[in-house]
Amino acid sequence: MSRETFDAIVIGSGITGGWAAKELSEKGLSVIVLEAGRTIDPARDYLMNAPAYEFDYRYLGDKKHLNSRQKVQQKCYACDEGAAQFFVDDVDNPYSTPEGRPFDWIRGRQLGGKSIMWGRQCYRWSDLDFEANLKDGHGTDWPIRYKDIESWYDYVEGYAGISGEKLGLAHLPDGPFLPPMEMSCAEQFVRDGIAKEYGGARQLTVGRVANLSVAHRGRAACHYCGDCHRGCTVGAYFNSVQTTLVDALATGKCRIRPFSVVHSVVWDDAKGKATGVRVVDGQTKETIDFDARIIFVCASALESTRILLNSKSRAHPNGLGGNSDHLGRYLMDHTMQSGARGTVPGFEEKRTFGSRPNGIYLPRFRNVKEQHPDFVRGYAYQGGGYRSVEGWQRGVGAEGFGADFKRALKVPQYGKWRMGLGGFGECLPHRENRITLDPTLVDRWGIPALHIDMQWRENERAIMKDTQVAAAEMLEAAGCTEVTTYDNNSSPGLTIHEMGTARMAKDAKSGVLNKWNQVWDAKNVFVTDGACMASSACQNPSITYMALTARATDYAVRAMQRKEL
């Protein structure tokens, strides 16, 4: 059977893979998207409107199944009975960690990847972030600055539809936002109290989120059902299944192949370049090769580097891009689940409206102008105001029966308004936080699994401590009572912001990729997902991945036109 040849192969169909497919096919290239999992039909697979009573376990999930097949995945709040289908089977997709150093690797393997159940928070980086490695000496200097991707931020945000409020902060640049969602009374109370105490140095705002506050590009506005992680049938939040991949297919130049588990990138020693991709069919386990002039590796940070590590040849004995010994190193994630909560006085007559798919954001204020004595870099807060509501469920186990008892349960009982501030802290790039191929463990398709060795270190621990202290101080200053701090001691990985392991750098000795996201040692291979990151900042990273992908595809096509690739 002859091997199929394309202008471009895109590995992965998630946030970055969708963007690569759209941009490359719209520029006239023939493209095949290789997706490891099944295809998705929103009308069939998105369950946002399915009531709990239609599920055997009322959205709580089959604990026997979760404990046996999704022991790691169930640690994510979104892995409930209506969305567990979007998370991988941990038994089929194993990995290893050192004793006493857990890493909670949360993954999606289907068309759209994690773009179906991501948190949708979108915050730009600034030169405070791109210059940090150079200024404080941790990690290698980024080969780009904010001006290099500013226009690409504009481009992807304008397409995706990001609702939010402009703040005018140099270290958190504004974008072409849709109207911001309204904050609750409790959030406005805390916002105003913080502004009164700290002035413009600390600004609490509603989150900048890829949920539409108004209709946008043929997609309906969010209607606040609150079940985003189960998929949105109206397309009110950005995911590749309903946006970029639709546009890619509309060109007639793009094909999507599901159940295509990528084994490796194929390298031709005689030609001195990558010539294609080797795939294990997810259903038959047949090995198939596809050829292309350029390859975009967008399988998610750790999966992309796993593919590169497994792409060994005479010229690349340590994997494609591994000649500098940086491949697999400098793994990062964000710290989270440390902060404070408090009671907001008053507002007993106020109720919530629907279920807003978005919290609040309080941008970084540490180490912006003055250096903190205990740590470098910084953190931001996410969270929100909420009010507990007890409905008919409170009747379970309660005394009473008959009509009066049932009528009483129809009237909800509301608790106090509460406010939470949870810190998301930057993780420094550390050489020994790394991934390698496990020498014996393989997945269901016979491909070597990863060994992940990462831990929080002194700087991350200092950041987590300060997030608690500062959050409590701000809540008390704003007028909250019953303020308590918390630290859930979450493991790396659970924030689901894994970054690094194939970092960008100014030269081949310092990293795996150049400023255009090309592998230094294989110029027709591009990596544009989280693997490319040279530092982590403290902002949710997905919008930066999108901007880098759009930028890299533009460069790749122009290079092909110049016959450089």
Q: Is 363 exposed, middle or buried (0-12, 13-18, 19+ CB in 10 A)?
A: buried
Q: What is the pLDDT of residue 49?
A: 81
First CA to last CA distance, the chain? 27
The pLDDT score that the predictor gives to residue 64 is 86
Three-class HEC string of 506-547: CCCCCCCECCCCEECCEEEEEECCHHHCCCCCCCCCHHHHHH
What's the pLDDT score for residue 397? Answer: 67
pLDDT per residue as tens digits for the range 478-519:
999 999 999 999 999 999 999 999 999 999 999 999 999 999
Residue 169 to residue 166: CA distance in whole angstroms = 8
CA-to-CA separations, 230 to 42, 72, 77, 218, in angstroms, rounded:
10, 19, 12, 21
Domain count, the chain: 1
Give buried/exposed letters for 335-361 (b at 16+ CB in 10 A, else e).
bbbbbbbbbbeebeeeebeeebbbbbb
Residue 88 phi, psi (nearest 5): -70, 160
Is residue 107 classed as helix, strand or coil in its secondary structure? Answer: coil
Q: At what angle do helices 146-160 and 542-561 cross, to 10 degrees?
A: 110
Burial class (CB in 10 A: 0-12, 13-18, 19+), 314: exposed
User: Residue 404: exposed, middle, or buried by beta-carbon count in 10 A (0-12, 13-18, 19+)?
Assistant: exposed
User: What is the C-alpha to C-alpha distance for residues 400 and 382, in angstroms, rounded to an integer?
Assistant: 41
pLDDT beneath 50, residues of the chain: 1
pTM of the model: 0.96
Whether 423 and 380 have beta carbons less than 8 Å apart is answered as yes
β partners of residue 373: none
Q: Which of 78, 77, 95, 97 is nearest to 86 (CA)?
A: 78
Q: What is the pLDDT of residue 55?
A: 85
Three-state DSSP state, 310: helix
Range of the domain at 555: 4-561
Q: Where are the alpha helices (DSSP H) in 166-316?
A: 185-198, 244-250, 301-310
Q: How does the average pLDDT of the chain come out, rounded?
A: 95
What CATH number is attached to the domain comprising 223?
A: 3.50.50.60
The DSSP symbol for 473 reads: H
User: Which pLDDT does position 1 carry in this prediction?
Assistant: 47
Report pLDDT for 2.
59
